[in-house]
């Protein structure tokens, strides 16, 4: 047990450094004045380097190896077994990337992100091309350093969704796409059936903010262990399971933005606030993967927040806050308004039905680019054709096409699929919750979200990083990730909404 | 030059760690939710320990020694000479305190601070006694570790006011006290001559906040390189010379609090924002000492902000913001109101005239306690007698007497005098500025504070930590710290205000 204590002590410092760096990052995106940027970059990169040095020390490696051998007989679900399993994976990866390469990647990504922002503003693909090409080359090298059996993409995806093979994602995406494309077309033909004009009226910012607080409180977000601040982009960040913060923004003429961002980030935050104390300052704290995390945010945003029952509960609050805008509305009308589905160019503005098609397109593009089957210069045309084939629309310019996302310039390849994997998993989970928890709609309609949250605590939150997405799916629902529940949910809901 | 570069590189990391820890501290005092405290303590103390390890490494010591020898011929005012001088002092001190002792001190001070807060709330000196005794014992040991020639107090004071002997402070304080006590008595006899009722009307918080922003902008605080946030106690903190933040609070029934805290912290912030780029990430960045820093905050708060000329400039803004409260006022009346002087129990609420008497009392108490000439149990009685003798009033309870300050429980012994040294120095500086800059009052009255700020930039800010208070005083005014200017300023101003 002495070796385990030594390892835990060493890694507690690694965890503390990661959280300290997170505080610096949070401040940078919320309150930091413009002048603070250059010094902050130095401070953050120092913490990041110290963290890497501490984690990749030889002693840590020896301890992981020794303990893994000594404890090989522990059951798979044992906390210590899971800790060693996760550490072994993290350590091997951290060691495989040479420090010089990490520096190169970080430098190139800094340049590419700046170039991307300028290129998007100027609607100029040509200016971004060399940066995308450079990042691709680096990510190809990264995949080689990390290693893989069949596809480079496996090595990259594994950073965000451990043990999820590219082949499983491809198979799932192919199957879902075949169902989604006709559904989108059918909805398109009946587009006038759902009216979302109410969302585009003028809404006071402070009142929207207060209502977002109400929604967060309702789902059980603990403000004694968190807070919501303004930031250009909504996100959730954790400095410990007792200090989990969200950010949000207010759009005066799009009511749904602030409320649903609160529920989305709130879903992430419930997961992090639910991470058990016993995992604090270890590699097991927090969420299992990006996909599992996204299952939690999507569940609260869409399966709860965009349900009819939610609006039965929430409409009186909405009406009290925005009497004038709500005058000609009721719960049912609001339910319909927040569920309008229609093809659009921008992923982050997409609705529940079309969202995954945006993701699939990116997943295909990433793979084609990485495998040199598509050239960077050909991407915009390829993109427009895919959009036309999946969503029936063609972007008017590259800024609203292949140039819209920041991810690739930041080096995030293999990240996009997790958005959809999480979305599919959320429906699979929710179907199971319905089976086990009785009438969820009745609970939501009276403002009871705690039964569901307590269930998620037991099924998901309490396990921290112990299990993968597929393992959790199997434990909770008896089968690995599937898309049947997701497609059934979408078809039922949207057939009714659009009279299909 | 290679050695110098190596040293600078090593110490840049030390500086970055210190600033990262400062960000964590700022968040803790401004936005952190209650639940975040335990994890934050661990994160901060790790950064603090890493900083200490990096700074006290043998290599740093060798480099300082070697370079000091190699560069012994550099002129005193040379940047590198000053850097090595400051580093030598800092390094020797950091090395003299055993890590175990630092841990002991930090632990005891944590306990004492909690005990102090409870004891003050309960008005219970007895509960605090053992903690104060323990802290005293530790500070006595600290003085022994650090070393001194004649008095333990020298070793402690030196942390806050380098190279300032206790004997100089004692001599200055004795002289000033002899003048202040009769001045306070004379003012007391004419107390009804100044009416500050206007300050106690009701003032909207958001409007006070906006006015404090106006005041900060007027004196030249750069909001592109800083910001003001709410906190229980006003303070100024720097994460680089391009990110210097202040905090403040609003009291709805005491108008002067928010405005003068803004000017006070703004004075600190101008100093930090004025620290030159060339000193960033070195031991020379920031301010020379606590005393010199306080000279800057007091100068803007009192010598500028409590001047008649300031109110000629500021009254129209005040009136525009608070039309009703300002209806029966004018610039002259406001000038008089913000300068009401009268003995009070609480140091942080004291006016310009009585403030230093509060400090002197603490300075004497610290010395008596450290030298075992006064027992902890005897302090409350001693305190009440000193208050009666200096200010003619006796605290109604120990919470408003010897228990009012947090400093001693935090281990801050030798810190109090810097408040007064800074106050004295501010008057000495201001007198010189008047000689060199023409009609300052005319400048202030038309809102021109940049002439004064530019002068301070040249005389004070640009030197960072290169010189001590006495060295700066000598360079700028031709003599070391003196109190003649301070006493002359007080007597002139208050004789006129109170018709003495």
On whether the CB atoms of residues A383 and A391 are closer than 8 A, the answer is no
Which CATH number does the domain housing residue A164 bear? 1.10.1370.30
Compute the nearest-CA separation of A225 from chain B (Å): 5
DSSP state of A399: G
Contacts of A42 in chain B (CB under 8 A): 12, 16, 281
CA distance B259 to B273: 20
CB-nearest to A35 from B34, B47, B243 is: B243
Going by the DSSP 8-state scheme, the letter that residue B403 receives in this structure is T
Closest CA to B54 of B77, B20, B82: B20
Tally of CA atoms within 13 A in the half-sphere of B280 that contains its CB: 19
For residue B197, give how far its alpha carbon lies from the nearest alpha carbon of chain A (Å). 34
Whether A147 and A160 share a structural domain: no
* Domain boundary pick from A151, A176, A203: A151
Mean pLDDT over each residue of chain B, to the nearest integer: 96
Residue B396's pLDDT is 96
**Number of Cα atoms under 13 Å in the Cβ half of residue A26:** 28
To the nearest whole Å, the CA of A43 is away from the closest chain B CA by 5
Q: Where are the beta strands (DSSP E) in B314-392?
A: none
Three-class SS of residue B138?
helix
Same domain membership, residue A261 and residue A171: yes
| CA distance linking residue A288 with residue A203, whole number of Å | 37
Whether residues A243 and B32 touch (CB distance < 8 A) is answered with yes
Kindly report the pTM of this predicted structure: 0.94
What is the per-residue pLDDT across B314-332, written as a single tens digit (0 to 9) for each? Answer: 999 999 999 999 999 999 9
Q: How far is B42 from chain A (nearest CA, A)?
A: 7
Question: Are the beta carbons of A234 and A261 closer than 8 angstroms?
Answer: yes
CB atoms inside a 10 Å sphere around CB A480 = 14
Nearest to B36 among A16, A47, A239 (CB): A239
Average pLDDT over residues B3-13: 97
Answer yes or no: do A157 and A304 share one domain: yes
Residue B135 and residue B205 share a domain = no
Reduced to 3 states (helix: H, G, I; strand: E, B; else coil), residue B371 is coil
Which of A43, A217, A236 to probe by mutation at the B interface, max B CB count within 10 Å?
Answer: A43
Using the predicted structure, report yes or no on whether residue B424 has a pLDDT greater than 80. yes
Residues B138 and B261 both lie in one domain: no
Q: Number of residue pairs across A and B with CB atoms under 8 Å?
A: 112
Write out the two tokens for B104.
């002991």
B321 lies in the same domain as B403: yes
Is A17's CB within 8 Å of B46's CB? yes
A34: which chain B residues are within 8 Å (Cβ-Cβ)? Answer: 224-225
How far is B39 from A240, CA to CA, in rounded Å?
6
CB contact under 8 A, B31 and A229: yes
Strands of A75-131, DSSP E = none
List all residues 6 or more positions away from B110 whose beta carbon is below 8 Å from its beta carbon.
none
From CA A152, how far away is CA B112, in angstroms rounded?
Answer: 58
Q: Which residues of B touch A (CB under 8 A)?
A: 12-13, 16-17, 19-20, 23-24, 27, 31-36, 38-40, 42-43, 46-47, 50, 222-227, 229, 239-240, 242-243, 245, 280-281
Q: Under 8 Å CB-to-CB from B5, ≥6 apart: which residues?
A: none
Catalytic residue among B265, B301, B366, B471: B265
Q: Check A265, A272, A294, A471 and give the catalytic one.
A: A265
C-alpha distances in angstroms, B474 versus A68, A131, A366, B288, B463? 67, 57, 68, 14, 14
Instruction: Indicate if the alpha-carbon torsion angle B269, B270, B272, B273 is positive or negative.
Output: positive
A190 catalytically annotated: no
d(CA B15, CA B283): 8
Chain-chain contact of B239 with A20 (C-beta, under 8 angstroms): no
- Residue B240: its chain A contacts at CB < 8 A? 35-36, 38-40
pLDDT of residue B114: 87
CB–CB of B34 and A222 under 8 A? no
CA atoms within 13 A on the CB side of A164: 31
Is residue A22 domain-shared with residue A130, that is, in the same domain? yes
Scanning the structure block, which residue is given the tokens 């909404």? Answer: A497
Question: Do B240 and A36 lie within an 8 Å CB cutoff?
Answer: yes
In the prediction, which pLDDT does B156 show? Answer: 97
Record the tokens describing residue A150, joined without a space. 């069949």
The residues, any chain, with a CB within 8 Å of residue B121's CB and separated by 6 or more, are: B399
Q: What is the CA angle A126-A383-A165, rounded to 5?
A: 110
> Partners of B240 in the beta sheet?
B243
Position A242 scores a pLDDT of 98
CB A236 within 8 A of CB A269: yes
Task: Kindly identify which residue of chain B lies nearest to residue A21, measuring between CA atoms.
Answer: B20
Q: How high is the pLDDT of residue A114?
A: 87
Do B276 and B134 sit in the same domain of this protein? Answer: no
Chain B CB contacts of A35 under 8 Å are 222, 224-226, 240, 242-243
* Mean of pLDDT values over B338-354: 95
Q: Which helix (H) or strand (E) holds A390?
A: helix A379-391
How many separate domains does chain B show?
2
- The answer to whether the Cβ–Cβ distance between A43 and B242 falls below 8 Å is no
Domain boundary among B119, B151, B183: B151
Pairing of strands A228-230, A243-248: parallel
Q: Would you state the structure tokens that stand for residue A387, as one six-digit string?
A: 């959009």
Whether residue A281 and residue B38 make contact (CB cut-off 8 A), yes or no, is no
| The pLDDT value given to residue A257 | 96
Which member of A33, A46, A229 has the closest CB to residue B224?
A33
Task: Looking at the structure, tell me whether residues A19 and A101 fall in a common domain.
Answer: yes
Give DSSP secondary structure letters for B62-91. Answer: HHHHHHHHHTTTS-TT-HHHHHHHHHHHHH
What beta strand segments (E) does B203-358 contain? Answer: 228-230, 236-240, 243-248
> Taking CB atoms and an 8 Å cutoff, what residues of chain B touch A24?
20, 23
Q: Are A240 and B17 a contacting pair at CB < 8 A? A: no
- What mean pLDDT do residues B364-382 have? 97
Per the structure block, which two tokens stand in for A81? 């077994």
Binary contact (B16, A223; C-beta < 8 A): no
Provide the 3-class DSSP secondary structure of residue B201. coil
Considering the domain architecture, whether residues A276 and A163 belong to the same structural domain is answered as yes
User: Quick one: tokens of B429?
Assistant: 């500086």
Do the bridges between strand B243-248 and strand B236-240 make them parallel or antiparallel, or are there none, so unpaired?
antiparallel
CB B105 within 8 A of CB B29: no
Mutate: best of B42, B206, B269, partner A, most A CBs <10 A: B42
Task: Evaluate whether B285 touches B415 at the Cβ level (below 8 Å).
Answer: no
Q: Is 70 exceeded by the pLDDT of residue B1?
A: no
Q: Verify that B113 and B142 share a domain, yes or no.
A: yes
- List Cα–Cα distances, A99 to A104, A106, A117, A336, B319, in angstroms: 9, 11, 27, 52, 61
Nearest to B243 among A12, A36, A226 (CB): A36
Cβ distance of B225 and A35 shorter than 8 Å: yes
What's the token pair of residue A71?
Answer: 């404890």
Q: A64 with A210, same domain?
A: no
pLDDT, mean of residues A127-143 = 97
Give residue ranges of A with CB < 8 Å to any B CB.
12-13, 16-17, 19-20, 23-24, 27, 31-36, 38-40, 42-43, 46-47, 50, 222-227, 229, 239-240, 242-243, 245, 280-281
Chain A hits for B239, CB-CB cut-off 8 Å, are 36, 39-40, 43
Dihedral angle sign, alpha carbons of residues B157, B161, B166, B172: negative
Nearest residue on chain A to B45, alpha-carbon basis: A16
- Please report residues of A whose CB lies closer than 8 A to that of B243: 32-33, 35-36, 39-40
Residue of B35, B226, B275 for testing the chain A interface, max A β-carbons within 10 Å: B35
Residues A443-481 pLDDT 10s: 999 999 999 999 999 999 999 999 999 999 999 999 999
What was the pLDDT predicted at B99? Answer: 83
pLDDT(A1) > 70: no
Q: What is the pLDDT of residues B230-280, one digit of tens each?
A: 998 899 999 999 999 999 999 999 999 999 999 999 999 999 999 999 999
Check if the beta carbon of residue B77 is closer than 8 Å to that of residue B43: no
Cβ contact B36–A280 (<8 Å): no
A43·B19 Cβ contact <8 A: yes
Residues of A in contact with B236 (CB under 8 A): none
Which of B100, B125, B151 lies at the terminal end of a domain, its last residue? B151
ipTM above 0.90, yes or no: yes
Rounded to a whole number of angstroms, the distance from the CA of A204 to the nearest CA of chain B is: 18
Comparing C-alpha atoms, which of A107, A12, A86, A169 is closest to residue A410? A107
- Over residues A175-192, the mean pLDDT reads 96
**A25 neighbourhood in chain B, CB within 8 Å:** none
The runs of H, that is alpha helices, within B245-307 are 255-273, 290-298
Note down the domain range covering B261: 152-500
Chain B residues lying within 8 Å of A226, measured CB to CB = 33, 35
Dihedral sign computed on CA atoms, order A101, A104, A108, A109: positive
In Å, how far is A315's CA from the nearest CA of chain B?
Answer: 30
- Supply B434's token pair: 């008047």
Mutation target vs A (from B46, B51, B245; most A CBs, 10 A cutoff): B46
- Residue B102 banded pLDDT, cuts 50, 70, 90: confident
Which residues from A are below 8 Å from B36, CB to CB? 225, 239-240, 242-243
């Amino acid at each position: 047990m002495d070796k385990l204590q030594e390892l835990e002590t060493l890694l507690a410092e690694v965890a503390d450094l990661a959280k300290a760096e997170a505080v610096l990052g949070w401040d940078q995106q919320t309150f930091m004045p413009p002048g603070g940027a250059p010094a902050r970059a130095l401070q953050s990169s120092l913490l990041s380097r110290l963290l890497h040095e501490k984690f990749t020390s030889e002693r840590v490696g020896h301890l992981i190896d020794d303990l893994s051998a000594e404890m090989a007989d522990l059951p798979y679900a044992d906390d210590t077994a899971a800790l060693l399993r996760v550490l072994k994976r993290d350590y091997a990866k951290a060691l495989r990337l040479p420090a010089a390469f990490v520096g190169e990647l970080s430098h190139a990504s800094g340049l590419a992100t700046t170039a991307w922002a300028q290129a998007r503003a100027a609607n100029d693909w040509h200016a971004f091309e060399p940066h995308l090409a450079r990042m691709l080359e680096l990510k190809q090298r990264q995949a080689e350093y990390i290693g893989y059996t069949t596809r480079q993409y496996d090595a990259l995806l594994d950073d965000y969704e451990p043990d999820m093979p590219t082949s499983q994602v491809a198979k799932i995406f192919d199957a879902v796409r075949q169902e989604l494309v006709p559904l989108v077309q059918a909805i398109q033909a009946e587009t006038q059936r759902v009216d979302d004009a109410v969302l585009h009226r003028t809404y006071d910012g402070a009142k929207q903010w207060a209502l977002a607080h109400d929604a967060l409180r309702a789902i059980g977000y603990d403000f004694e262990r968190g807070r919501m601040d303004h930031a250009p982009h909504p996100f959730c960040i954790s400095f410990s399971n007792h200090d989990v913060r969200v950010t949000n923004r207010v759009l005066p003429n799009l009511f749904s933005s602030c409320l649903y961002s609160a529920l989305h980030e709130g879903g992430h935050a419930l997961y992090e606030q639910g991470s058990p104390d016993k995992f604090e300052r270890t590699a097991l704290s927090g969420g299992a993967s990006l996909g599992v995390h996204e299952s939690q945010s999507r569940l609260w945003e869409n399966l709860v927040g965009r349900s009819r029952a939610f609006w039965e509960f929430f409409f009186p609050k909405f009406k009290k806050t925005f009497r004038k805008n709500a005058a000609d509305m009721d719960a049912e009308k609001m339910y319909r308004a927040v569920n309008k589905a229609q093809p659009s160019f921008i992923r982050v503005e997409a609705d529940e039905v079309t969202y995954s098609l945006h993701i699939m397109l990116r997943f295909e593009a990433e793979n084609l680019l990485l495998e040199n089957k598509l050239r960077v210069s050909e991407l915009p045309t390829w993109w427009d054709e895919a959009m036309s084939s999946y969503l029936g629309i063609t972007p008017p310019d590259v800024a609203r096409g292949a140039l819209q996302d920041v991810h690739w310039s930041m080096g995030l390849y293999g990240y996009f699929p997790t958005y959809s994997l999480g979305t599919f998993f959320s429906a699979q989970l929710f179907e199971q919750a319905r089976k086990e928890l009785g009438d969820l709609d009745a609970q939501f309609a009276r403002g009871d979200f705690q039964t569901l949250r307590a269930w998620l605590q037991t099924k998901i939150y309490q396990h921290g990083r112990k299990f993968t997405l597929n393992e959790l799916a199997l434990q909770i629902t008896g089968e690995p990730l599937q898309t049947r529940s997701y497609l059934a949910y979408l078809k039922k809901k949207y057939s009714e909404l659009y009279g299909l």
